[in-house]
Amino acid sequence: MRRGQVTESKNIAIETVNLMRHVISISRWDNVEQLTMLIKAVGRKLIKALPRELLIVNVLCRLLRIVAEESESVEFVEDSWSARRTRESASPRGAETPAMGVGTGAPGALMRTLTEQVSGRFDVETMTLLGFKKNILNEINVYISELDNIEDDIAKNALEYIHSNEIILTCGRSLTVEKFLLKAAGKRKFHVIVTECAPTYEGHEQAKALASSPNIEVVVIPDSAVFAIMSRVNKVILGTRAVMANGGLIAVSGTHMVAAAAHHHSTQVVVCAGPYKHSPWFPFNDDRFNALVSPDAVLPYREGDLVNNVDVISPRYDYVPPELVDIFVDSMGGHLPSYLYRLLQENYGDAKDLAWNIYDS
């Protein structure tokens, strides 16, 4: 990740989960606390390699949530054994011990009782630990499968938001938005306007992918024409890198301009994002999770005299405030930005409170 070999958001999430699954399976830990500390320790190393990547902490919080859910059954097994041990110690068999001075067969009975208790305790601990690890790995495999199919699951809701002969505007390159639009194109014809998203020009790649469908008429426009064309647009469909806890977006540069123009023209803004992009962090500092790329595409270095007299800043992402977003669409359907807190609680539980601790430690 530090070398930039893994850049797609879903690939980063999957690679993080695969690494954590491998670490959990080969590492030796004896209880939930040790496993939690192990996940957090490896997570800090990943964050150090890519400190601005929100998806890593999202995945870590989800894994901690899985551990917390599975640990409840482990505690139940231990409590059941403790209750059984209490019942055995209170049974009449205890009256046959030599300490009570009753029965000539008391030593044998006492030995059998102690053997059963020790054997039972060993079996419960061994089965609990192995069963706990097995359940954790099974849940992680389910989570990986969910990540693999996330775009297709989101695309199942496409027909509820895209209607025939509508004019849709999108920004940049997003595999989730691409499959969302292509799914709707299977039954309906509509128009798509794609902003070129300079200076990376990712919009051209998105337009080529959408043009493969005969039911989609694709037009690529320069970023400067967004406001002028927005009055003719029926709906804006965007992808995002991450969704902050307040409903704001960390999206490709140029997204804020599109969302602001749509808000001015009262055009609905729909954001397609899987649950793994929901971040438990609030954007107290808009630049903390941003990154600057080479400005050569904006102002080439061959412009020597001009380059020496100006400072050119080329951010990779935009922060889009939640008031510019109308609805989020994920694998479970559509949600308002005000409902995001509930989704965070369902996905991460109390583990979301550890996000800043993992990052800053």
Instruction: Give the pLDDT band (50/70/90) at residue 104.
Output: very low
DSSP codes joined into one string, 283-351: -SSTTTT--B--GGGTS-TT-HHHHTT-----BSEEEE-GGG--EEEETTEEE-GGGHHHHHHHHHGGG
pLDDT at residue 120 is higher than 50: no
Per-residue pLDDT tens over the stretch 124-167: 444 467 788 888 999 999 999 999 999 999 999 999 999 999 99
Predicted TM-score of the model (pTM):
0.81
Mean pLDDT over 250-265 rounds to 96
Average pLDDT over residues 339-353: 84
What are the residues facing 218 on neighbouring strands? 192
Average pLDDT, the chain: 83
Peptide bond into 199 cis (omega under 30): yes
